[in-house]
Amino acid sequence: MEKILEVGSHRYIIGLDWNPLSGADPLLAARTLAKSRNSPMGLLRTVADSDGHVAHQVGLANKKVKGAILAGAAHIATISESAIAISRLGGDLFWLCITDNGRVLPGFDKIGSDSEISKAVTEFLEEYQLAYMQLLMTRDVAQELRISHGVEDINPLDMLAEKQPTDAIKLKNLAGLSNTTMLGAAIAIVLVGGGGYWKYTEEIKQRALEEQQALEAFEAESREKARLAALNKGPTDEEILAKARAEEVVWLRDSFNTHSLINALKHVYVMSSRMATEQGGWTLDSIVFNGGSPEDLRTTWKRNGGTLENLKKGLEGQGSVSFSGDFSQATASHKISLGNRGIEDIEQYIPEQGLRQHQMVDLFIAEGFSFTIASANNAQRQANIHGLKDKTLESVPQLVVKKWSFALSGQGKDGFVKLMNLLQHVENMTPEAIEVGRTGGNFAWKFTGILQDL
């Protein structure tokens, strides 16, 4: 939904469709996107953060507009580089604009009801921290949307009126019009209006000529770049990034297939219940599962008068044993198999079968579990993308996966079994670490799982 507002002496459009741009030619990327979306009017922005990283984005308008019109979200981004700005437009209609390091975040130049805006803010807060962001809204808006801390009690629309905009946030025709079309429109006005419109039509023709010259120069440059790219016969950045995304989809699918959450929990429980706590003068300390090595469990032991040979014989056929430098402790590796879950289309599986973050939180609370939660999103790709002309994208993940780390702990087998029963139907969580402490015959457990969503 888009809306045009009269603010002060200017017209602003809000609710634009903001998209990040990649590649060496952001203007070409913006123009291509505008044509593909049939949204010729838009605003191309280039933003550099404090570390010198440059980002390009384009805001596209579906609404047909005439005359000079400014992008409201872009103006907010120039006033406050990182902010959550919310204005009441009237009745139950609000405008939400979220900026981060000078960019307008995609999907957050939004017009909607109080419930829609509240939901959008909640989803945003699941992934971002508020420490560095301004909260720009009046107190009555904050109260209605249940936002309670750090509000600056200001209407973002008043900020648009107070801060003089520049032409840099004025929407332009990104797709461009042909010279014939522009001159045809000018000639039509002359024929219909006569001499009274002569000066006006001359200005139109001059603007049309300037725009056409700029367009022709741009197209010539684009053709030359395409010619050189064809001679080079190398894949484009877009093609390389598409392959990189497909590779990340395979990584995600393979990780889910080889990291069965319930099977990992069962293996730890069975070994913790069956493994003798004493082996020839050695005392069992812990049983540990690590998601980085899903093919084995580790048991740790403390020497209590036994010999090295005693422990090796006691664990013969169960696992390979290694000792600490002072031979007072030992670690045994026990081979296990978590099986293969057989997931093929992970991008369909997770949204259809998985739980959302707030659903997982509600489930733990309802079952009386104490837990901690932290964002586990990866800012870096696990392997760099090679062959890109734009080197700034080499380590940037192309598949957006939202990840949260849930950590729980407890005492006793009953609590561990309760946890297994709770998690057996959570299809989009993978085990990161599971540990059961057996010192003194206790059963003290710790669990960390990663909930992943697309």
User: Greater confidence, 329 or 192?
Assistant: 329
Q: Is the pLDDT of residue 176 over 80?
A: no
Q: Which helix (H) or strand (E) holds 267?
A: helix 261-274
Q: Compute the average pLDDT of residues 77-106.
A: 92
Q: Does the structure show a pLDDT above 60 at 284?
A: yes
Parallel, antiparallel, or unpaired: how do β-strands 296-303 and 329-335 relate? Answer: antiparallel
Confidence check: pLDDT of 91 > 70: yes
Question: Is 423 found in the same domain as 327?
Answer: yes
Which residue type occupies 354? G
The larger pLDDT score, comparing residue 224 to residue 190, is at 224
Same domain, 186 and 333: no
pLDDT in tens, 142-163: 988 888 778 889 999 999 999 9
From residue 355, how far is each of 179, 427, 448 by CA, in Å? 54, 8, 17
User: With 90 as the cut, is the pLDDT of residue 29 above it?
Assistant: no
CA distance 137 to 148: 11
Of 61-70, 227-236, 404-413, which has the strongest mean pLDDT? 404-413
CA angle 197, 206, 214 (to 5 degrees): 150
Q: Is the dihedral of CA 186, 187, 190, 192 positive or negative?
A: negative
Mean pLDDT over all residues of the chain?
85
Q: Which of 212, 232, 252 is the last residue of a domain?
A: 232
Give me 451's structure tokens. 């909930």
Give the residue numbers spanning the domain of 191: 179-232
How does residue 301 score in pLDDT terms, banded at 50, 70 and 90? very high
**Together in a domain, 346 and 248:** yes
Contact assessment for residue 416 and residue 436, using Cβ atoms and an 8 Å cutoff:
yes
Q: Where is pLDDT greater, at 52 or 196?
A: 52
Q: What is the pLDDT of residues 334-353, one digit of tens each?
A: 999 999 989 999 999 999 99
Q: How many domains does the chain have?
A: 3
- Considering the chain, what percentage of its residues have pLDDT values greater than 90? 57
Residue 413 pLDDT > 60: yes
Residues counted in the chain: 454
For residue 444, give the DSSP letter.
E
Among 196, 213, 232, the domain-final residue is 232
24 and 143 belong to one structural domain: yes
Question: Burial code of 19-34, b = ≥16 C-beta within 10 A, e = fewer?
Answer: bebbbebbbbbbbbbb
Q: Are residues 423 and 382 in the same domain?
A: yes
- Same-domain status, 204 and 132: no
> From residue 349, how far is each of 7, 34, 252 by CA, in Å?
46, 32, 11
pLDDT, average across residues 367-371: 94
Residues 204 and 160 in one domain: no
pLDDT of residue 296: 92
Query: Residue 363 and residue 406: Cα distance in Å, rounded?
Result: 12
pLDDT of residue 155: 94
User: pLDDT band at residue 128, thresholds of 50, 70 and 90?
Assistant: confident
331 and 211 in a single domain? The answer is: no
- Report how far residue 69's alpha carbon sits from residue 228's, in angstroms, rounded to the nearest whole number: 37
User: Is the per-residue pLDDT at 72 higher than 60?
Assistant: yes
pLDDT score of 146: 84
Is 80 exceeded by the pLDDT of residue 99?
yes
Helices (H) and strands (E) in the chain, counts: 13, 19
Domain boundary among 173, 194, 213: 173
Query: What is the per-residue pLDDT for 199?
Result: 43
User: Residue range 180-188: average pLDDT?
Assistant: 32
3 state SS of 94: strand
Residues 19 and 146 reside in one and the same domain: yes
pLDDT at position 49 is: 67
Residues 256, 261, 266, 268, CA torsion sign? positive
Confidence (pLDDT) at 187: 31
Sheet containing 83-90: order of strands: 103-112, 93-100, 83-90, 134-136
pLDDT of residue 200: 37
Instruction: Identify the band that residue 449 occupies on the pLDDT scale cut at 50, 70 and 90.
Output: very high
| Same domain as 241, residue 201 | no
**Per-residue pLDDT at 386 exceeds 50:** yes
Residue 197 has pLDDT above 90, yes or no: no
3-state secondary structure of 332: strand
Band (pLDDT 50/70/90 cuts) for residue 188 is very low
Is the pLDDT score of 247 beyond 80? yes
Q: Which long-range contacts (CB under 8 A, 24 or more apart) does 114-120 make?
A: 114/144, 114/145, 117/86, 117/145, 118/145, 118/146, 120/96
Domain identity same for 202 and 304? no
Sheet containing 17-21, strands listed edge to edge, beginning at the edge strand earlier in sequence = 17-21, 54-60, 41-48, 172-173
Has residue 213 got a pLDDT over 60? no
- What pLDDT sits at residue 217? 63
Same domain, 196 and 123: no
Angle, to 10 degrees, between the axis of helix 198-232 and the axis of helix 26-36? 110
